Amino acid sequence: MYALYSALAAFFLVLTLPYWVLQMTRHGKHRVGLRQRFGAVPPALAASGERPTIWVHAVSVGEVIASSAVITALQNKFPAHRVLVSTTTSTGRKLAAQRFGAENVFYFPLDFAMAIRPYLDALQPELVVIAETEFWPNFLRLAKRSGARIAVINCRISDRSFPSYKRFRFWLPRLLENTLRNVDCFLAQTEEDKRRLIEIGAYATKIAVTGNLKFDVAPPPLPEIVASLREDFERSAAGPVLVCGSTLEDEEGSLLSAFRNILVDHPRAVMILAPRHPERFDEVAALVERLGFRMWRRSLWSGEVLAGGVLLVDSIGELATIYSLATVAFVGGSLVPRGGHNIIEPALYGVPVVTGNHYENFRDVVNFFALCNAVRIVGLAELPLVLIELIENGEERATLGRNALAALQSQRGATARTVSALIELMSGGS
């Protein structure tokens, strides 16, 4: 069963090799950390075998942010242990290194025994903590066989992934069920996630609903660039400020069209545009210029007045705090069927939030905010009108912002429940 899975995974890797080579050649993606992904353990990690280890896997930036408080709590609760963090993306690794030290961070190995075993042999983790939903069959099997206890925290089964898991269970039922049964506990975000876990093969007795860690995230400290931009806006009477974050292809054109309508009555308005993927920065810059907007790139901005134009955020890791500048925030990946992105980041600042109607990846958060009148959900046709309405209606903006903060406050507590469950697991509970 596992041999068949490994053979299929290897075949898929070889089949898609030209794509990965193209990505590395054109954009530099996946090149960094390639040796680690194939099982080369960094020397600093190999030395950690002298201390007991807790291994936390957080795929990318969102998972690192959401699990940071849990990681810190584990460091405090188990000071004799070394808490190590793996990521899949380079942006996730950069943020994890900033928060927990580069010597404690590495790239997650590919799901092949030859890549996984060196890490398990070197680290000998007592506890493996996986953030959200990373059900790698070989990794979970080998980690369990090594003696580690395994927990999946902030676990969710999204609307997009649920049908895939059900198909996987139909074709390879024993593989999926055995994979899930290697996990000692699932800490699910919602009752619906618990129900879906059971439906794809997890034991109900291993699942607890602890809430969404993202609700517990505190606003990060504001960096110097945010203070500089705020001063510039105040000095030049620029505004209103529309922050469009995590945008994808086929979204920027519609957002820029809506911004053109805003400029008619608000000629000193500013649009801060932050594409989701760094490799698209130049492409989006060309689009903005082709459509005739004044544009500044964040990487080159040196204090020029931004009124009446577009600031392109061509940097990594700054969007979460840039949302604090928004008169209105739009969260992308949602005007096109890509599942949306995290609306909690702007909500943390009491900013009125707009998102598209493709928000499947954050179904529960968006639906809860909608129930609390704390978000506006729009399609392409309504987008310009809703943005203009919010920009011109200060009372409505204030109401959305207050409701968002209240919604966040009402859902806090997932971190404490998660840490409590992990401590119990470490002490021998199940």
Per-position DSSP letters for 266-297, written without gaps between them: -TT-EEEEEES-GGGHHHHHHHHHHTT--EEE
- Can you say how many angstroms the Cα of residue 179 is from the centroid of all Cα atoms in its chain? 24
* Nearest by Cα to 110 from 188, 1, 5, 182: 5
Q: Is 70 exceeded by the pLDDT of residue 386?
A: yes
pLDDT digits (tens, 9 = 90+) for 334-380: 999 999 999 999 999 999 999 999 999 898 899 999 999 999 999 99
Residue type at position 214: K
pLDDT at 16 over 90: no
Q: Note the pLDDT of residue 83.
A: 96
Cα gap 45→48, rounded to integer Å: 5
pLDDT at position 15 over 80:
yes
Say yes or no to pLDDT of 27 above 70: no
The candidate with the shortest Cα–Cα distance to 261, out of 391, 165, 368, is: 391
Q: Give me the pLDDT at residue 107, please.
A: 96
Q: Which of 335, 333, 355, 334 is nearest to 344 (CA)?
A: 355
Tokens of 300: 């080159």
CA distance 359 to 189: 16
Q: Which pLDDT value is given to residue 18?
A: 79
d(CA 35, CA 330): 38
pLDDT tens digits, one per residue of 136-177? 999 999 999 999 999 999 999 988 889 888 888 877 788 889
Determine what percent of the chain falls in helix, strand and coil, rounding each to the nearest 5.
55, 15, 30
- Say which amino acid occupies 164: S
Q: How is residue 227 annotated by DSSP?
A: H
Catalytic residue among 50, 63, 318, 392: 63
Selection from 414, 296, 422 nearest residue 365 by Cα:
414
DSSP one-letter string for 158-211: -TTHHHHHHHHHHHSHHHHHHHHHT-SEEEESSHHHHHHHHHTT--GGGEEE--
With a cut of 80, say whether residue 93 has pLDDT above it: yes
* Domain-wise residue ranges, the chain: 32-211+413-426, 224-410
Instruction: Specify the 3-state DSSP secondary structure of 86.
Output: strand
pLDDT at 70: 97
As a whole number of Å, the end-to-end CA separation of the chain is 27
pLDDT of residue 115: 96
**Tens digits of per-residue pLDDT, 291-343?**
999 999 999 998 888 999 999 999 888 999 999 999 999 999 999 999 999 99
* Minimum mean pLDDT range among 17-21, 163-167, 190-194, 206-210: 17-21
**CB-count exposure of residue 124 (10 Å: 0-12, 13-18, 19+):** middle
Mean pLDDT, residues 110-127 taken together = 95
Buried b (16+ CB within 10 A) or exposed e, 228-238: ebeebbeeeeb
Question: Structure pTM?
Answer: 0.86
Could you tell me how many helices (H) and strands (E) the chain has, helices first? 20, 14
Residue 30 confidence (pLDDT)? 60
| Mean pLDDT of the region 196-211 | 96
Query: Residue 395: what pLDDT?
Result: 97
Question: What gap in Å lies between CA 379 and CA 386, rounded to an integer?
Answer: 10
Q: How confident is the model at residue 17 (pLDDT cuts 50, 70, 90)?
A: confident
Q: Flag whether pLDDT at 12 surpasses 90.
A: no
**pLDDT confidence tier of residue 49, bands split at 50, 70 and 90:** low
Query: 32-211+413-426 architecture in CATH?
Result: 3-Layer(aba) Sandwich (3.40)
Q: Average of pLDDT values for 207-225?
A: 93
Sheet with 328-331, strands from edge to edge, namely 295-297, 309-312, 270-275, 241-247, 328-331, 353-356, 376-378
Specify the pLDDT at position 127. Answer: 97
Residue 429 has pLDDT above 60, yes or no: no
Catalytic site includes residue 63: yes
Name which of 101-115, 159-173, 414-428 the model is least confident about: 159-173
For residue 72, what are the CA distances in angstroms to 69, 86, 242, 347? 5, 15, 34, 24
pLDDT tens digits, residue range 240-251?
999 999 999 999
Specify the 3-state DSSP secondary structure of 128. strand
Residues forming a β-bridge with 187: 208
So what's the pLDDT on residue 266?
Answer: 97
pLDDT at residue 236 greater than cutoff 80? yes
Establish whether domains 32-211+413-426 and 224-410 are of one fold. Answer: yes
pLDDT at 14: 80
Alpha helices in 38-172 (DSSP H): 43-46, 61-77, 90-100, 113-123, 137-145, 161-171
Paired tokens of 375: 């978000």
SS (H, E, C) 230-267: HHHHHHHCCCCEEEEEEECCCCHHHHHHHHHHHHHHCC
- Amino acid 158: pLDDT: 86
Closest to 319 in 3D by CA, of 137, 37, 145, 95: 95
Nearest-angstrom CA–CA distance, 102 and 304 = 35
Per-residue confidence (pLDDT) for residue 28, from 0 to 100: 62
Predicted pLDDT at 22: 73
Which pLDDT score, from 0 to 100, does residue 124 have? 94
**What is the second-level CATH architecture of the domain 224-410?**
3-Layer(aba) Sandwich (3.40)
Mean pLDDT over all residues of the chain? 92
